[in-house]
Amino acid sequence: MDPPKHDRIKALFQRAFTPKAIAQHEPAIREITDRVMKGLEGRETCDLVTEVAQPVVARVIGSFMGLDPEDDRPWAESINTLLGFGDPDLNPKGLEQLVAEDIPPMYEKCMKLVADRRANPTEDMLSVLVFAEIDGDSLTDDEIFAGFVLLMAAGNDSTKATYTSTMKVLMENPDQRRLLIDDPSLVPSAVEEALRMFPAFAHFRRTATRDTVLAGQQIKRGDKVALWYPSSNRDEDVYEDPHRFDVTRNPEHQAFGAGGRHFCLGTALARLELKILVEETVRRFPNMTLAGEPTWVLSQFSSQLKTLPVRLHG
Task: Rule CB under 6 A: choose which of 162, 166, 189, 302 binds ligand HEM.
Answer: 162
Closest separation in Å from C-beta 137 to ligand HEM: 19
Asked if 266 interacts with ligand HEM (CB under 6 A), we say: yes
Please state the closest distance from residue 10 (CB atom) to ligand HEM, in A.
5
* Residue 165 · residue 194 · CB < 8 Å: yes
Query: Which is nearest to 62 in space by CA: 19, 11, 9, 124?
Result: 124
Rounded Cα distance between 167 and 171, Å, is 6
β-pair partners for 228: 203
Which CB, 54 or 159, lies closer to ligand HEM? 159
Secondary structure class of 226 (helix, strand, coil):
strand
Is residue 140 classed exposed, middle or buried when 0-12, 13-18 and 19+ CB atoms within 10 A define those classes? exposed
Closer residue to ligand HEM, CB minimum distance, 251 or 286: 251
Cα 93 to the center of its chain, rounded Å: 24
- What backbone phi and psi angles, to 5 degrees, belong to 216? 80, -5
Window 8-27: residues binding ligand HEM (CB under 6 A) = 10
Single residue of 264, 290, 291, 298 touching ligand HEM by CB under 6 A: 264
Among 91, 158, 165, 281, binds ligand HEM (CB under 6 A): 158
Q: Which is nearer to ligand HEM, 153 or 291 (CB)?
A: 153
Cα–Cα distance, 149 to 142 (Å, whole number): 11
Smallest gap from Cβ 204 to ligand HEM, in A, equals: 4
Candidates 204, 208, 225, 291: give the one binding ligand HEM (CB under 6 A).
204
Q: Establish if 165 lies at the interface with ligand HEM (CB under 6 A).
A: no
